Structure 1
Amino acid sequence: MRRLIMLLDDIRGIAAIEYGLGLALVAIVSITAWGATGSQGAAEPPPAHRAA
């Protein structure tokens, strides 16, 4: 019985770690995607030597 409780405790700990890693991955991907769309959405000004 004690072994079963320890096993369940280990599984719960591993699940919590995987959940945390999943949240971190989602945050990284969403921040990266948001930064990429933000940089593409803004038009660049023309270079100074070409502007007349």
Structure 2
Amino acid sequence: LLGIPFRVTISPRTLAKNSAEIKKRSEKEAQLVPLEKLTEKLKELIKD
């Protein structure tokens, strides 16, 4: 597959929770991640 294997969604709903949603292309469910840990979590996912 071509493209980016992750989708990061920042919406009014996630901002209200001070979070962002990360979804891996290979998984069905998205995870809610606090904004202050977003870059750390993305780096971790990219390493795997």
| Same-fold call, TM cutoff 0.5 | no
TM-score, structure 1 normalization: 0.25
Higher helix share: 1
Higher normalized strand content (fraction of residues): 2
Q: TM-score, normalised by structure 2?
A: 0.27
